[in-house]
Amino acid sequence: MRIYSGTVKAPASKSSSLRSLICCSLSEKDNSLVIHNISRCDDVLAGIKLVSELRLFTTIFEEDDLIFTRRIDKLREKDSLICNVGESGFLARAFVSIANYFTSKVTLIGKGTLLKRDLGIAEFADKIGLSACNSKLPTTIQGKIKPGKFVVTEKRSSQFLSGLLFILPLLTEDSMVTIEELVSRPYIDLTLSYLARCGIKYEWVSKNKIAIPGKQSYIAKDLRPESDWSSLSFLIALGIMGGDITITDLCDGPNLPDRIILDLLTEIGGDFSFINDKTLKVKKSVIQGFTFDLTSNPDLAPVLVALAISATSPCNLKNCYRLRDKESDRLVSLMDMLKSLRVEHKYYDDTLTIFPTQLSGGYVKTYDDHRIAMTALILNTISRSKITIDNYQCINKSYPDFLNDLNRLGVEI
């Protein structure tokens, strides 16, 4: 089997880049703001356009840095807003609360596959004292968030909660948030880490309650998003399956949810090492079967499917309900891919079991889901015959340089 080798630069995190943008949009102190190492994926580009229009920013890229210059000094409430979130589910859900800070009437619009998804907007709006005409996009949300006590059910998505946490410090009085069915604590911790970077105070008063003082201000200066472990996981998996890959320019941190893939690889025999705090080396490895709970890390499911196919024994992915509400119904998309590639698998009691398989090519329908496309592309490197996909351009949603990075490693597309 061919060994794919070379050096690539770690992609910047989409999740961290979007949180950095929100911090800039809420900051009042400086007319010039910089986000270093920002992602240029489609979701982030949509976010840049959104916050630029919201706060009347002008923007310019200088290599991997984004510089904002504000054309007005203070936040000004508007009668109404139209916010275009592109295809970003995070922006759609987070801006239910964030846009409300600027206006009592906001219409959220988007495009592509996002328009097909029931995002649960109306249900969440009702929980925080707002009203929404539709749970899908487009939808219009009316009312004003008032400080106080909030009870948020977070089983479906942590993205609504992140948006609320960004706004509560700016209200006139203190608030308390009680989180029921907390399933994505790492993503909430990531949001809170960005609040802390901008001088915002909060306190976990119990395992599911956060106290947030009001009358605070954001000071967003020289933010630097971390590296994207959701995207990095595909490079890591490529290295494990058949490579000798060096990943440079890592910007690591303690609140990165999908970094947990390294813990899993340590358990199952993955050969990787940090050369220094910014460089990771990954080599071809023989990995054992594994069981992984997707509750807090659903975005890892596609790359874990790829690793499972190359493992030495069956692998189990538990709590697959977390895959239902992504760019596609990702459980259906993954099982369709497994069927198309003739990989033995079974789904029972919300657990997907995958049996190791020697691939012999096939056709994969991506459902316009970037992570399905990236999974098929790395599986192509261990297949005896070519795997083809229907739409490679959907990778631009999170990792536009993925094909170029694969080429640098010697992968022929």
| Mean pLDDT estimate for the chain | 92
pLDDT tens digits, 170-228: 999 999 999 987 777 888 999 999 999 999 999 999 989 999 999 999 998 889 999 99
73 pLDDT above the threshold of 60: no
Q: Is-contact 283 239, C-beta < 8 A?
A: yes
Measured between its terminal Cα atoms, the distance across the chain in Å is: 17
Q: How far apart are CA 341 and CA 37, in angstroms?
A: 37
Residue 408 contacts by C-beta under 8 Å, 6 or more apart in sequence?
6, 7, 8
* 8-state DSSP, 12: B
Domain with CATH 3.65.10.10 in the chain: 4-10+228-408, 77-212
Residue in this structure with the two tokens 């400086």, named with its chain if needed: 30
pLDDT tens digits, 25-38: 898 766 678 999 99
Q: Is-contact 90 17, C-beta < 8 A?
A: no
Half-sphere CA count of 236, side-chain side, radius 13 A? 29
How do beta strands 57-62 and 4-9 pair?
A: unpaired
Q: How far apart are CA 346 and CA 245, in angstroms?
A: 32
pLDDT tens digits, 329-385: 999 999 999 999 999 999 999 999 999 999 999 999 999 999 999 999 999 999 999
pLDDT tens digits, 380-397: 999 999 999 999 999 999
For the sheet with 149-153, list strands across it: 149-153, 175-180, 209-212, 203-206
Which class would CATH give 4-10+228-408?
alpha beta
Q: What is the pLDDT of residue 408?
A: 94
> Residue 328: what residue type?
S
67 pLDDT above the threshold of 70: yes
252 pLDDT above the threshold of 90: no
Q: Give the CA angle between residues 36, 40, 46 to the nearest 5°.
A: 110
Letter string b/e over residues 361-389, b meaning 16 or more CB atoms within 10 A of that residue's CB: ebebbbbbbbbbbbbbbbbbbbbeeebeb
**DSSP symbols for 78-144:** -S-EEEE-TT-HHHHHHHHHHGGGT-SEEEEE--GGGGGS---HHHHHHHTT-EES-SSSSEEEES-
Q: What is the pLDDT of residue 30?
A: 64
Task: Write out the two tokens for 49.
Answer: 């356009």
Q: What is the pLDDT of residue 157?
A: 78
User: C-alpha distances in angstroms, 13 versus 39, 233, 288, 302?
Assistant: 6, 12, 29, 17
Q: What is the pLDDT of residue 72?
A: 60
- What is the pLDDT confidence band of residue 163, given thresholds at 50, 70 and 90? very high
Rg, the chain, Cα only: 21
Q: Which of 371, 368, 377 is nearest to 404 (CA)?
A: 377
Residue 133 neighbours by CB distance under 10 Å: 13
Q: How far apart are CA 371 and CA 9, in angstroms?
A: 19
pLDDT tens digits, 105-159: 999 999 998 999 999 999 999 999 999 999 999 999 999 999 999 999 877 778 9
1 pLDDT above the threshold of 70: no
Q: Is-contact 77 112, C-beta < 8 A?
A: no
Q: What percent of the chain has pLDDT over 70?
A: 97
- Domain range 77-212, CATH architecture: Alpha-beta prism (3.65)
Highest mean pLDDT among 19-33, 76-90, 147-161, 255-269: 255-269
Q: What percent of the chain has pLDDT over 90?
A: 80
Where would I find the beta strands (DSSP E) of 294-399?
315-318, 345-348, 351-354, 362-364, 387-389
pLDDT tens digits, 225-240: 999 999 999 999 999 9
- What is the pLDDT confidence band of residue 413, given thresholds at 50, 70 and 90? confident
